[in-house]
Amino acid sequence: MSRADLAENTCTVARAIELFGDAWMLMILRETFLGNRRFDDLQRQTGASPHLLSRRLKRLQDIGVLRREAYSEHPARYDYLLTAMGRDLWPVIISIKSWGDKWLGEGPHSINIQHKSCGHVVVPQMTCPACHKSMEAYDAQASLSEEFELERDAIRSPA
Amino acid sequence: MSRADLAENTCTVARAIELFGDAWMLMILRETFLGNRRFDDLQRQTGASPHLLSRRLKRLQDIGVLRREAYSEHPARYDYLLTAMGRDLWPVIISIKSWGDKWLGEGPHSINIQHKSCGHVVVPQMTCPACHKSMEAYDAQASLSEEFELERDAIRSPA
């Protein structure tokens, strides 16, 4: 299986990984969540080459995560803005941040998050919406859909 | 800047992205969270080639996310197990899953998550630990550490 085959997977985790399992895609997302929206700024702060950045921005627009909006006509210049689909990736970047702060960080956090509606500076937590307790791996039992289970069985014992 | 330079970044998001911004690393993590721990099973279910899988498993052990434990001596065979550091990546995979279910999924979710301690099948949510409300991008204000701000300024206007 090549990486592109992940897109054909039943599993939505695999399909999302095929889209975002790439350092530059994730770095561009970090930047857009920090409020960066212009090509030159994105290029400088991610460290991506212009060619690489162009390709990733195109991909993010094709997926529907970013949209562009002209801010100048001559020359043509664009703001790259998160769509609703893109803003929903915030928990992905925040989870990566929390892990990084805990396991790679020394001293003050490089980014702090304030919850606007309550005013507190917080480390957002993954929580169970039924009982409102924080959730971790040991607390979670995964079960697979019939289709995904069948797909995995077929991989385990090819016909 | 090359991708390796991300490891030198002040920002813990960039440094974590340098480690995990890779489809195969994330696929291996998906599998280990599904309970898969053996080389052959990991290889089949991720679709990675044996060579590629070996390298990623080595990397995951070097980072400290996986540890291996022999289950057979002749021939030497190992279980690959998540460490505490590895289990802390659960919110990353769960966030990717939630996004995938919402934006790529059709029909029943490929993976369902039951919260063991309360018994409910749930979609875990990113929540503010201060006010216990769910948090989203528009609700969050990021502020940067002085060191990270200075690093970004220097990139913006190189001396």
Tell me the residues of chain B between 98 and 127 that have a Cβ less than 8 Å away from chain A: 98-105, 107-118, 120, 122-127
Chain B nearest-CA distance from A63, in A, is 10
Q: Are B89 and B104 in contact (CB under 8 A)?
A: no
DSSP B27-45: HHHHHHHTT--BHHHHHHH
pLDDT in tens, B66-96: 999 999 999 999 999 999 999 999 999 999 9
Residue B111 tokens, joined: 């993976």
Of the two residues B143 and B107, the one the predictor is more confident about is: B143
What whole-number distance in Å separates Cα of residue A100 and Cα of residue B28?
Answer: 19
User: How far out from the chain centre does Cα A109 lie?
Assistant: 20
Strand spans (E) along chain A: 66-72, 77-82, 111-115, 121-122, 125-127, 140-144
CB contact (8 A) between residue B118 and residue A109: no
Q: Is B128 on the interface with A (CB under 8 A)?
A: yes
Test B5 with A145 for CB contact under 8 angstroms: no
What is the C-alpha to C-alpha distance for residues B52 and B8, in angstroms, rounded to an integer?
A: 25
Tokens of A2: 């090549």
Sign of CA dihedral B76, B81, B86, B91: positive
pLDDT at B38 exceeding the cut of 90: yes
A94 interaction partners in chain B (CB closer than 8 Å) = 95, 126, 140
Query: Residue B111 pLDDT more than 90?
Result: yes
Q: Does A59 contact B at CB distance below 8 Å?
A: no
Return the percentage of chain B with pLDDT > 90, whole number: 88
Contact B65, B82 (CB under 8 A): yes
Could you tell me if A68 and A81 are in contact, meaning their C-beta atoms sit under 8 angstroms apart?
yes
Determine the residue among B12, B37, B88, B109 to mutate to test chain A binding: the one whose Cβ has the most chain A Cβ atoms within 10 Å.
B12
Could you say which DSSP state residue B106 is in?
-
The first and second tokens of residue B40, run together, are: 């052959």
Q: At A14, which helix (H) or strand (E)?
A: helix A12-20
Tokens of B10: 């002040």
Q: What are the pLDDT digits (tens) for B113-158?
A: 999 999 999 999 999 999 999 999 999 999 999 999 999 999 988 7
SS3 (DSSP) at B97 = helix
Facing residue for B126 by CB, picked from A5, A82, A91: A91
Average pLDDT over residues B52-67: 98
So what's the pLDDT on residue B159? Answer: 66
Q: How confident is the model at residue B1 (pLDDT cuts 50, 70, 90)?
A: low
Q: Give the pLDDT confidence score for residue A159 in this predicted structure.
A: 66
pLDDT at A151: 93
Nearest CA in chain A to B1: A47
Predicted model pTM: 0.96
A158 or B43, which is more confident: B43
Q: By three-state DSSP, how is residue A153 classified?
A: helix
Residue B8 token pair = 């030198």
CB of A143 less than 8 A from some CB of B: yes
Q: Which of A90, A111, A127 sits opposite B144 (nearest CB)?
A: A111
- A62, A127, A136: best to mutate for the B interface, most B CBs within 10 A: A127
Contact B99 A92 (CB under 8 A): yes
Residue A42 near residue A28, CB atoms below 8 Å: yes
Q: Exposed, middle or buried by CB within 10 Å (0-12, 13-18, 19+), for B123?
A: middle
Rounded CA separation B98/A4 (Å):
21
Select from B62, B63, B61, B92 the least CA-distant residue to B78.
Answer: B61
Q: Do B99 and A120 touch (CB under 8 A)?
A: no
Which domains does chain A possess? 3-88+125-156 (1.10.10.10)
pLDDT in tens, chain A (159 residues): 677 788 888 899 999 999 999 999 999 999 999 999 999 999 999 999 999 999 999 999 999 999 999 999 999 999 999 999 999 999 999 999 999 999 998 888 999 999 999 999 999 999 999 999 999 999 999 999 999 999 999 998 876
Asked if B128 and A143 come within 8 Å (Cβ–Cβ), the reply is no
Q: How many angstroms separate the CA of residue A134 from the nearest CA in chain B? A: 8
Q: Which of B137, B132, B125, B13 is nearest to A98 (CA)?
A: B13
